Amino acid sequence: MLRSSIVDLRALGWDAFFEQYFEEHGRRGLTAARVTLEHQHIYTVHTADGESLATVAGGLRHRAEGRHEFPAVGDWVAITPPAQGRRGVIQTILPRRSKFSRKVTGRETTEQVVAANIDTVFLMMGLDGDYNLRRIERYLITARDGGASPVVVLNKADVCDDVGLRVREVQSVAQTAPVHAVSTRQDGIIGVLDVYLIPGRTIALLGSSGVGKSTLVNRLVGHQMQKTRAVRISDHKGRHTTTQRQLIIVTGGALLIDTPGLRELQLWDGAGGMDATFDDIEVFGAGCRFRDCRHDAEPGCAVKAAVESGQLDTSRLESYRQLHKERAFLASQQDERAAQERKRQSRALSKIIRDVKPRE
């Protein structure tokens, strides 16, 4: 079902980057669309002609080797346009300029794309029981690794006794990422975020349940678009109000991707994001005796010396070590999964050869 709402694709974030990859599909009669909402096996997409529902083509579904190769909110796709009451069909996903990915929860070694083609990520954390520096480090790594610019938004400044101290603590781990303390419950305090609300630019909101993402969306949109629920006073844990990822155009033309609260964030890659997020440790590490120093038991470690002299916090180094171990374990799982897939393909190919081999 098509909702009439003709827009310039540039208002949805379309630019020369996506145009270059779409030209071939356009010659085949397909239409460019952006995924704005993810349902169960169905997507809401927005084209220049309006909004409609779309499903994934059988060929795309067959080629996909994991859920990361299915459309995500924020993706630009080429679709067969809907006609005569039929849904559109997503034929292919255009290359992603950026993404926010994590390992799926549980034992499965699979990438989950939370949001795609984002310019800025608001990493939201509450200045209540939600406050956790180690979690912010994970968010920063994932945002930077995916190619988006992270901005740390510390919400609930109205319930914090020393906002300045918390901001300084977060700045110590955020490195170059901006840090803002706001209160979505009070008028005028979220104005510091206006500088990021650029027409056609996409911002993803990430954070735990109850951190205030839905309230912030309502404030930026200017009306009650998302339901909100209070955080439990007993443990400061949030209650899920956003149940689906959704792309929303706010007043002024910026694009927001609201997401359900993340109970956990397991790294998917993190290689580039680690270096940027722990730049202070990398700087100290340049003075280590050994080039491949793990900053653990090796002699002549400049990073451990920085901890002993008070230049580097112990918990910061422990977090660095833990995240490196997590990345190494994930890499070994990915290698094992890739090896199993190669064996499967080899067996399938051998079977095909046996089946077509002429009998003597």
Q: Give the 3-state DSSP-derived string for the chain, with helices as H, strands as E and coil as C.
A: CCEECCCCHHHHCCCHHHHHHHHHHHHCCCEEEEEEEECCCCEEEEECCEEEEEEECHHHHHHCCCHHHCCCCCCEEEEECCCCCCCEEEEEECCCCCEEEEECCCCCCCEEEEEECCCEEEEEEECCCCCCHHHHHHHHHHHHHCCCEEEEEEECHHHCCCHHHHHHHHHHHHCCCCEEECCCCCCCHHHHHHHHCCCCCEEEEEECCCCCHHHHHHHHHCCCCCCCCCCCCCCCCCCCCCCCCEEEECCCCCEEEECCCCCCCECCCCHHHHHHHCHHHHHHHCCCCCCCCCCCCCCCCHHHHHHHCCCCCHHHHHHHHHHHHHHHHHHHHHHHHHHHHHHHHHHHHHHHHHHHCCCC
Say yes or no to pLDDT of 119 above 50.
yes
CATH entry 3.30.360.10 includes domain 3-93: no
pTM of the model: 0.80
Residue 113 · residue 72 · CB < 8 Å: yes
Q: How many CB atoms lie within 10 A of CB 18?
A: 18
User: How far apart are the C-alpha atoms of 277 and 135, rounded to whole Å?
Assistant: 12
Give the pLDDT score at 127.
94
Residues of the chain with CATH 1.10.40.50: 278-360
Q: Where in the chain is the domain with CATH 2.40.50.140?
A: 3-93
Determine contact, residues 245/258, Cβ cutoff 8 Å. Answer: yes
Per-residue pLDDT, 171 = 95
Number of Cβ atoms within 10 Å of the Cβ of 323: 20
Phi, psi of 83 (to 5 degrees): -150, 140
Confidence check: pLDDT of 272 > 80: no
State the chain's maximal CA–CA distance in angstroms. 86
The mean per-residue pLDDT over the stretch 21-26 comes to 95
Cβ count near 156 (within 10 Å): 25
Position 239 confidence tier, pLDDT thresholds 50, 70, 90: very low
Angle between the N-to-C axes of helices 133-145 and 314-356, in degrees from 0 to 180, rounded to the nearest 10: 40
pLDDT at 252: 86
Mean pLDDT of the 221-248 span: 53
Instruction: Look at 266 and 293; give whichever has higher pLDDT.
Output: 293
Comparing C-alpha atoms, which of 303, 300, 264, 268 is closest to residue 283?
Answer: 303
> 99-258: what fold?
Rossmann fold (3.40.50)
In this prediction, residue 213 carries a pLDDT of: 86
pLDDT at 24 over 90: yes
pLDDT at 72 over 60: yes
State what percent of residues in the chain have pLDDT above 90: 46
| Lowest mean per-residue pLDDT among 15-24, 98-107, 120-129, 248-257 | 98-107
- Superfamily of domain 278-360 in CATH is Probable gtpase engc; domain 3 (1.10.40.50)
pLDDT at residue 226 is higher than 60: no
Is residue 240 scored above 50 in pLDDT?
no
Averaged pLDDT, 84-106: 86
For 335-359, what is the mean pLDDT?
62
Task: Provide the CA 117 distance to its chain's centre, in angstroms.
Answer: 9
pLDDT at 332: 64
One-letter amino acid for residue 330 of the chain: L
**Stretch among 83-87, 90-94, 106-110, 157-161 having the lowest mean pLDDT:** 106-110
In the structure, what pLDDT confidence band is assigned to residue 238 with cuts at 50, 70 and 90? Answer: very low
Q: What pLDDT score was predicted for residue 164?
A: 95
* 185/356 Cα distance (integer angstroms): 69
pLDDT at 324: 82
Q: Identify any residues that bridge with 90 across adjacent strands, giving them in sequence order.
A: 56, 79
Q: What is the mean pLDDT of residues 129-153?
A: 91
- Among candidate residues 125, 79, 116, 124, the one with its CA nearest the CA of residue 95: 116
- Provide mean pLDDT across the span 265-274: 67
> Where are the CATH 3.40.50.300 domain residues in the chain?
99-258
Q: Is pLDDT of 188 > 60?
A: yes
Model pLDDT, residue 328 = 74
- Report which of residues 101 and 345 the model is more confident about: 101
pLDDT at 224 over 80: no
User: How deeply is 27 buried, as exposed, middle or buried, from its count of CB atoms within 10 A (0-12, 13-18, 19+)?
Assistant: exposed
Of the segments 41-55, 264-278, 340-354, which one has the largest average pLDDT value? Answer: 41-55
